[in-house]
């Protein structure tokens, strides 16, 4: 799926739910959410065994990681629902560290939780990704993905390229978080 489609689908959900709160959005999509301390070796679990799909989130996680787990489970559920193949989705989907780092699901979650124009204006005011994450109370990874998505959607981020690349270099983040300067 391309950035424009993911952005549009996420914004339609936000409009329908009337919020950017990821848990409220998931509940508006008929998903129950619960936190538990019983799952120690995973971040969360998506269960389809009951009448209503359930997202279980490891209670030990910080708030921002809980949001990412919820967003990942919601995105995974909705992707299968959209493709009308929920019957092929495993009854239990364990969510581990490697899953919440997947780009497509983080792109979807970042669009659900962060308004594009607001993040763009924050870059115009000189805030880096970490400052945006703190200001919005959202995991840094989601902000980095949102910035890449803004770039893919055609936002003019030339004013932000040098600052963004310096931030990525300073914290030794993966190169895939960099913008293609030539495309800007």
**How do residues 153-184 score in pLDDT, each as one tens digit?**
999 998 988 888 888 888 777 777 777 643 33
Mean pLDDT rounded to a whole number for the chain: 86
Q: What is the pLDDT of residue 89?
A: 54
The Cα–Cα gap between 153 and 175 comes to 19
Q: How far apart are the first and last CA of the chain?
A: 21
pLDDT band at residue 78, thresholds of 50, 70 and 90? confident
pLDDT band at residue 100, thresholds of 50, 70 and 90? low
Predicted structure pTM score: 0.84
Q: What is the pLDDT of residue 83?
A: 55
Angle between helices 63-82 and 3-17 (to 10 degrees): 110
Per-residue pLDDT, averaged over 88-92, amounts to 59
pLDDT band at residue 91, thresholds of 50, 70 and 90? low
Tokens of 127: 């805030």
């Amino acid at each position: 799926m391309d950035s424009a489609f993911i952005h549009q689908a996420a914004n339609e959900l936000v409009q329908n739910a009337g919020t950017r709160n990821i848990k409220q959005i998931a509940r508006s999509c008929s998903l129950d959410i619960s936190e538990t301390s019983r799952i120690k070796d995973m971040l969360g679990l998506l269960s389809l065994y009951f009448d209503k799909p359930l997202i279980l989130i490891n209670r030990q996680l910080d708030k921002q990681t809980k949001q990412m787990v919820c967003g990942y489970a919601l995105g995974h559920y909705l992707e299968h629902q959209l493709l009308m193949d929920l019957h092929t989705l495993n009854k239990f989907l364990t969510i581990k560290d490697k899953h919440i780092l997947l780009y497509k699901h983080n792109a979807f979650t970042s669009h659900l939780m962060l308004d594009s124009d607001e993040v763009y204006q924050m870059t115009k005011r000189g805030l880096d990704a970490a400052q945006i994450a703190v200001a919005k109370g959202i995991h840094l990874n989601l902000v980095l993905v949102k910035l890449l998505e803004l770039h893919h959607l055609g936002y003019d981020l030339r004013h932000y390229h040098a600052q963004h690349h310096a931030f990525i270099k300073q914290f030794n983040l993966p190169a895939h978080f960099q913008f293609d300067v030539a495309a800007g």
